[in-house]
A and B are shown apart, each in its own frame.
Chain A
Amino acid sequence: MKVHMVAAINAALKQEMQKDPSVMCLGEDIGVNGGVFRVTDKLQEEFGKDRVVDTPLAEAGIVGASIGLALGGMKPIPEIQFSGFSYQAFHHIKQHMARFRQRTHNTMHLPMVLRAPCSGGIRALEHHSESPEAFFIHCQGIKVVMPSGPYDAKGLLISAIRDPDPVVFLEPKKIYRSFKEEVPEEEYTLELGKAKLVKEGKDVTIITWGAMLKVVEAAAELCKDVDLEIIDLRTLWPYDMETLVKSTNKTGRVVVVQEATRACSLASDIAANLQERCILKLEAPIERVSAWDIPFPHFALENYFLPNPQRVLKSIRKVREF
């Protein structure tokens, strides 16, 4: 059945809750209201108020309590309504969520998935559009996942819920309802830590994730003379180095496209790793296409801030012709 990403995520939550009574969702407005994006629509009707919980408006409370719930035998899926408000809970993410397994030498761990809508492009208010993946990667001890569409969202979320490590699951809100994909009704998993080869090619490797995959595909339409190899990272940390190295060694030309800002970003880390590993195969400096290193602007100016197909195209041409 063809569905939007919101429906695919809803189906993943529903199926995992049916399967495992310890799985529960908690967050602001996720129950009766079904979440501000309706991701948890009708889940409270099916599973009751104890398993789909409307919480007080307190992000640290939601994440901190989820840590305790996980230690007490539940599998909590806390939702932070917008990832830009995850900073109100950041001390729990950094100081505890990322550290419990190591602190207790593998005798206590936190099977939990922190879900949060992320990224821009929907003309939202301040703080509602950020791409904060690098913060979570920098916590050391958390897996970070970002789907690029409905099919991936369902399989990756089911994998995340079953994963023994804490996962931050970032959902690009621009693609919640922007397109549909065929999504199997039955449950399925997509292995965390594995990238997806979206399109094979021999000239230039494009590495991207989240909502930027559509931007990259639009750029590809504008340069049919270049045989692009497109990789969707899927899991942002720990990412699939093997696939990236293999492709880089093949094409020798790489563009990393991210919606996040550039300094100390995932794109920077990927570029550094690839040049360390593939320098003799590289035919051009690795290009990073990203947002600018400024606070996410108010939406009147967001189109100048977000990477677009033309910006990606320019970098493709640059590495191709270097």
Chain B
Amino acid sequence: MSIEEKGQFSVHYVQVMDKDGNIDMTLHPNLDESKIKELYHLMMLLRVMDEKCFNLQRSGKIGTYAQTRGQEASEVGSAFALEERDWVVPSFREMGVFIVRGVDKAKLIQGWNGDTRAFANPDGAHNLPLSIPIASQLLHAVGLAWAAKLQKKDEVVMVYFGDGATSEGDFHEAMNFAGVYKLPIVFFNQNNQWAISTPRTIQTATQTIAQKAIAYGFEGVQVDGNDVLGVYRITKEAIEKARRGEGPTLIEALTFRMGDHTTSDDAAKYRDPALVEEWKQKDPLLRLEKYFQKKGTWSDEYKNWVVSTVTKEVEDAVAAGLSVEAPSYEQLFDDVFAEKPWCLVEQQQQLKEELEGKKE
């Protein structure tokens, strides 16, 4: 009998900027100050847009909406590290990612208003539409990364998912395929610690989500998800690694869902308000503001300018998004197949007669 050690594994937690805005300069991602201001601007845009969408749902102007409040650094910092040719494969809570990717904000409103014309991608942008079935998008991302590798395209795929998704089989199958074929993909886990009412501790017994990567033969890293510089740095490294052909990375961005799961949920029923208060102190925008203050590059005028600029932008987007004419019933039968089969032609006619009150 013999016992031999087969390996030693460790998982790191990375924070570049602490909750008081202090930076560990040895870990600074070398973004110049104008870029950091741009990150702040984008995060504020997301926060204002998110609040607006919440209010629009409450006033009955759009349908069910999934809030992003608290996750601004995680979404904006990660997407900021991508090139345009790279792919984004979202879950359904990534409005910040879409904003960074330059998706028309009026379309985002239109989409949350139940009109899937907003998901059309006529320009061939490398963004998939949002995906509701938890974790299923991870495998589509794997396929995209695989296609890029086979066709020798210089494209990296970034896929987003939450902590709940790591309990699904698709997560494990996706991680396994990515490891086996050494694909150019970054698994970006937004661990906001809640899957509707289920806390992270019920999803998994492991100490971190990041460590799950080890079992699939690649690196996992945990980053402070409310630290936009940390998120940017870690994501940028993972993307560059993927681009060099060195395979996938799992990033666990430790953040917190400040709002409810969606506008149909009430987190007060299952979540201690003290916990929410605690995370308010770690707010990603507040943290950047403290950083700028320490740098001496902050003023109330600047903040007011940012807030009024993004508010105007959001108001314009909302006006445009809500003024789109509702889709016609006639398109209901379109695009199920490339060509409409007889059964859909017949049923479309039936609906038309029903609506137009055509007599026999």
Contact = CB atoms under 8 A, between A and B. Distances in A.
Contact of A56 (B116, B124, B173, B334): B173
Interface in A241-270: 241-242
Interface stretch (A100-108, A148-156, A206-214): A100-108
Contact of A71 (B120, B138, B147, B150): B147
B80 to A, nearest CB: 23
A233 to B, nearest CB: 14
Given A65-B143, A67-B140, A55 B177 contact: yes
Contacts of A71: 128, 140, 143-144, 147
Contacts of A74: 146-147, 150-151
B342 to A, nearest CB: 5
Contacts of A102: 116, 334-336
B336 A65 contact: no
Interface in B90-125: 116-117, 119-122, 124
Most buried by A among B334, B336, B337: B337
Interface residues of A, number: 43
Most A CB contacts (10 A, CB to CB) among B116, B173, B176, B341 go to B173
B141 interface: yes
A217 interface: no
B120 A238 contact: no
A101 B337 contact: yes
- Majority secondary structure of chain B interface residues (helix, strand, loop or mixed): helix
Contacts of B306: none
A68 B155 CA distance: 13
B338 interface: yes
B169 interface: yes
Contacts of B150: 24, 50, 69, 74
B348 to A, nearest CB: 14
B180 interface: yes
B143 A91 contact: no
Contacts of B87: 72
Contact of A165 (B136, B169, B338): B338
A71 B133 CA distance: 18
Name which of A63, A67, A141 has the most chain B CB atoms within 10 A of its CB. A67
Nearest to A53: B181
A60 B336 contact: no
Interface string A79-117: 000000000000110011000011111111100000000
B342 A241 contact: yes
A65 B177 contact: yes
Interface in B156-193: 169-170, 173-174, 176-177, 180
Contact of B177 (A24, A56, A106): A56
A73 B117 CA distance: 23
Given A74-B150, A101-B335, A107-B120, A64 B129 contact: no
A68 B151 contact: no
Contacts of A64: 136, 138-140, 142-143, 170, 173-174
A285 interface: no
Q: Which of B120, B142, B144, B151 has the most CB of A within 10 A?
A: B144
Contacts, number: 137
Contacts of A70: 143
A132 interface: no
A149 to B, nearest CB: 25
B145 interface: yes
A95 B119 contact: no
Contacts of A107: 120-122, 124
B336 A72 contact: no
A61 B145 contact: no
Contacts of A67: 139-140, 143
A24 B149 CA distance: 14
B335 A61 contact: no
Nearest to A65: B143
Contact of A95 (B117, B136, B147, B341): B136
Nearest to B179: A56
Given A67-B143, A96-B133, A105-B116, 18 more contacts: A24-B150, A61-B174, A65-B139, A65-B140, A68-B142, A68-B145, A69-B143, A71-B147, A73-B147, A73-B151, A95-B133, A101-B336, A102-B334, A105-B335, A106-B334, A106-B335, A107-B121, A141-B337
21 contacts: A50-B150, A58-B176, A61-B176, A63-B139, A64-B138, A67-B143, A68-B142, A68-B147, A69-B143, A72-B143, A73-B147, A92-B139, A101-B335, A101-B338, A102-B116, A102-B335, A104-B121, A105-B334, A164-B338, A241-B342, A242-B342
Interface of B: 87, 89, 116-117, 119-122, 124, 128-129, 131-133, 136, 138-148, 150-151, 169-170, 173-174, 176-177, 180, 334-338, 341-343
A-B complex: 4 closest residue pairs judged by Cβ atoms: A68-B143, A64-B139, A72-B147, A238-B341
